[in-house]
Structure 1
Amino acid sequence: MPNPLDVLVAAGVLVRDPATGSVLLQLRGDNATWGLPGGRLEPGETLEQAARRELLEETGLTAGEMTRIDVYSGPEFVVRYPDGFAAYVVGATFETADFTGTIGTDADGESAALEWFDPSDLPSEINPYNRLLLRRAGVGH
């Protein structure tokens, strides 16, 4: 029998530029793929609190009004990390075009880069998990 996967609860944020409709993606420092800013909940946090915290930590942006656009689970949401750890993720995606701050990568290297992309011209190096999240949010193909 295979080892059961750990279950992680996570939240991410689809950030849209209110002027252009471009979406902000994060180049992960651990696997060099693009995706949404986000991460796991800390004990006692709500999904929205985790999304706001992760957005600030990974991008330097503080979200104003956010809307929950997806809650997800299922076998397609297994994440495999470069160190070999794999987990089944249950989570939520929020969206905002209301933010303040200056975009900057985090000091711990989790974000190698941050860039705005036209939703019809996303990079090919999006990891499968985030490609699915974006597709469910109506972004990309």
Structure 2
Amino acid sequence: MGYIMDLREKVGSQPLLMPGACVLVFNEAGHLLLQKRSDSQDWGTIGGALELGESLEEAAGRELYEEAGLRAEEFRFVDLLSGKDMYYKYPHGDEIYNVMAVYEAMNVEGTPRVNDDEGLELRYFSLYEPISELNPFTEHVLKKTGYLSKWYPFDRL
């Protein structure tokens, strides 16, 4: 994440527009791969910011490998999310407004493994059962893209 880190040195924690990609990986049972994030200690999707000169699909592939040690044959575009509800404040105080391309990874190769310091653990989850410690921003993205119903988590009914 060199480009964003360079910007942060100049602007501090103030809000930035952050274009990036989110990658959804499903196993044969239809369960979604999530990573336990090292910064917030909760479960989130795989993804991250665009680097200079990189396409959104290239960012999706890079992030998938960096965070989970996986490669995908192709990426199916799901949605492009932006706006005030895509605001996120990191636990350390940096603020961003995401412009996020959401992709589903197709024909995934490899075995999921923590491959960088952004994640602590990787695990597949059913989206038909409550996920303990689901990152609220991830929940928001999954609802906006239709992967979670508006009634999730079910224990709030």
> TM-score w.r.t. structure 1 length?
0.91
Question: Is 1:16 matched with 2:26?
Answer: yes
Segments of 4+ moved more than 4 angstroms: none
Counterpart position of 2:10: none
Q: Is the 8 A contact 2:14 2:94 kept in 1?
A: no
Distance 1:11 1:65 in 2: 14
Distance 1:106 1:82 in 2: 22
Distance 2:74 2:51 in 1: 21
Distance 1:95 1:46 in 2: 16
What 5-or-longer segments of structure 1 have no aligned partner?
Answer: none
Structure showing greater radius of gyration is 2
Counterpart position of 1:98: 107
Evaluate the alpha carbon distance shift between residue 70 and residue 95 of structure 1 in structure 2; reply closer, same or farther with a 3 A threshold.
same
SS at match of 1:98: strand
Give the superposed CA RMSD.
1.5
SS at match of 1:121: coil
- Over the matched positions of the two proteins, sequence identity in percent amounts to 38
> TM-score w.r.t. structure 2 length?
0.82
Identify the structure with the greater helix proportion. Answer: 2
1:6 pairs, out of 1, 10, 16, with 16
